[in-house]
A and B are shown apart, each in its own frame.
Chain A
Amino acid sequence: EIVLTQSPATLSLSPGERATLSCRASQGVSSNLAWYQQKPGQAPRLLIYDASNRATGIPARFSGSGSGTDFTLTISSLEPEDLAVYYCQQRSTWPRMYTFGQGTKLEIK
């Protein structure tokens, strides 16, 4: 079973700052990694798929990188509405199953 470990657990930054969120897999997952954003009281939203591709409608300030076991979600210039918990997720090809990381809470000062 692949385990995803996200760090830090909580990140507190000011508007305009750069946020860097990490996700480490216990074994290689190639580029089969996605990032989701969950704002308070809302369902999650797909941000990044295949490690580095933005989903439809996602602002360009969100970017993803990495492959294998180490992945990063970067928010280049924080906006107040970026307050959320961010989850990484890996998918296995067969059986077709998913695993989420424990999440990183992003606080906006």
Chain B
Amino acid sequence: QVQLVQSGAEVKKPGSSVTVSCKASGGTVSSYAISWVRQAPGQGLEWMGGIIPMFDTTHYAQNFGGRVTITADESTSTAYMELSSLRSEDTAMYYCARGFCSGTKCYRDTFDIWGQGTMVTVSS
């Protein structure tokens, strides 16, 4: 069974950048869409963006103003999410999530396997 294993917690200064990794253990990322979803403390889920490595296509949520960059390294089955110009409001748990496939049909907006989450704290 594929697992998504994320990198560890980060503490960052305002204005800096953070990169979170997401490695597919026991499988590959290339055939699936990988999205990043964040959750601020006590708040709901927020989709940040996604990538389909096989087609090298990405989509990003507009409300991040171009601060998010999502990439994937198929050779290591690892996806990355970089968030720049960090501010205190970016303090959140960040999840990677794999797009669900049923038979030959795959979805970029439905997620069946999630990483364990990476807590990013932005504080001066």
Query: Are A and B part of the same complex?
Result: no
Chain A: residues with CB nearer than 8 A to chain B? none
